[in-house]
Copies of this chain bind each other. A is one copy, B any other.
Amino acid sequence: MKVGTRHYRTIWLAEDGRTVRIIDQTRLPHDFVLADLTTMDQAATAIADMWVRGAPLIGATAGYGMALQMAEDPSDAGLARGHAVLLATRPTAVNLRWALDDMRRLLAPLPPSDRTAAAYARAAEICDEDVEINRRIGTHGLALIEAIAARKPGPVNILTHCNAGWLATVDWGTATAPIYLAAAKGIPLHVWVDETRPRNQGAHLTAWEMDSHAIPHHLIVDNAGGHLMQHGQVDMVIVGTDRTTAQGDVCNKIGTYLKALAAHDNGVPFYVALPSPTIDWTVRDGVAEIPIEERSADEVSFVQGKLADGTRTRLRISPEGTPAANPAFDVTPARLVTGLITERGIAPASAQGLAALFPDLAP
């Protein structure tokens, strides 16, 4: 998508045909800084330290991480080490394991001398596939926005939580793809951006994306969405997901469930945009079965941002003696989800709905 007047993806191959270039997302929204990855270990650090984040982009970075590893050490031992180190970077991302297993399946049967070229080619393909999946999600979601625009005057008000934007993918984003396509078609839009504590990905990343594309938006605290819905100021909610179960339960950034409850209580349609690789067909009941990552208490006790003089730093907001708890995700039961926007179309959030759209994948 656009940064200034230039088109960027979130990950690409540099001119030397070996170095992998990314946007260091920890520096956004205040600085737009690129970073070069020249080794597998650097790719692992980029994932673990969240220079890149978002399930699809993590998968793509893992793919390129394996390519970097093959360029360093294409032996069987090198392949095993790359898979192990990259897999250990983030505990929950389904796409991470998917991409690593995919690369290993491709590379293992090849002679080491052929592995590097094959790995780079497949990593590029994973990126292109992600872009195409998101473009299709956008097309299906666009139809929902057009339908709302057709029946009401003024802008279509869309609320989103966290960042399921192009920064979370290779391009387009999942939840944002319909928004970008609608904006390109000239449909009047306005986006409510949840700041999304504790890491504030909404304030840091989604707001930056909307600002970069001149899409009218307002930042709001995570507490505000219910009030806005009570007063007719939200026409639809679109969020992303880190993992979706076979019966349509949605595991996403903490707080998504509260917004889904408010949408349900006020008759506001609540959509989840997802590429099919984030469906975990082995899990049915998300609340009971999905383990939730408990992250560092510091993310709650401190807030990151920029001082008036431009310095990036963090502030403590609570007493030193106060401990914090930090569950990073929650599960929204399928009963609260209006529909799942996938690359193949919109599925009802149910086992039957998903099976009908993905008969080749459903158990």
Which A residues are within 8 Å of any B CB, using their own CB? Answer: 29-30, 192-193, 195-198, 200, 203-204, 207-208, 210-211, 217-228, 230-231, 253-255, 257-259, 261-262, 265, 287, 292, 300-308, 313-319, 321-327, 329-331
Contacts and interface: CB of A to CB of B under 8 A. Distances in A.
A265 B287 CA distance: 13
A230 B30 CA distance: 36
A30 B301 CA distance: 13
A229 to B, nearest CB: 9
A193 B317 CA distance: 13
A249 to B, nearest CB: 11
A305 B313 contact: no
A207 B265 contact: no
B203 A317 contact: yes
A204 B317 contact: yes
Nearest 10 pairs between A and B by C-beta? A223-B255, A305-B315, A227-B330, A197-B221, A261-B261, A207-B322, A29-B319, A219-B324, A211-B321, A218-B325
A197 B219 contact: no
Contacts of A327: 224, 227-228
A253 B208 CA distance: 28
B301 A219 contact: yes
Given A262-B261, A330-B227, A304 B300 contact: no
Given A307-B315, A314-B315, 9 more contacts: A193-B322, A196-B223, A203-B322, A208-B322, A222-B223, A223-B255, A228-B327, A306-B317, A315-B315
A336 B305 CA distance: 36
Contacts of A222: 197, 221-223, 255
A346 to B, nearest CB: 25
Contacts of A225: 258
Given A195-B300, A306-B315, A316-B305, A325 B208 contact: no
B307 A305 contact: no
Contacts of A226: 255, 257-258, 261, 330
Nearest to A209: B319
Contacts of A317: 195, 200, 203-204, 303-306
A221 to B, nearest CB: 4
B255 A325 contact: no
Contact of A318 (B29, B254, B308): B29
B306 A254 contact: no
B29 A254 contact: no
Contacts of A198: 221
Max chain B CB contacts within 10 Å: which of A198, A292, A316? Answer: A316
Contacts of A308: 316
A218 B304 CA distance: 20
A29 B319 CA distance: 6
Nearest to A336: B265
Contacts of A192: 325
A308 B218 CA distance: 31
A178 B241 CA distance: 39
A219 B261 CA distance: 23
B204 A254 contact: no
Contacts of A315: 303-307, 313-315
A331 B224 CA distance: 11
Nearest to A192: B325
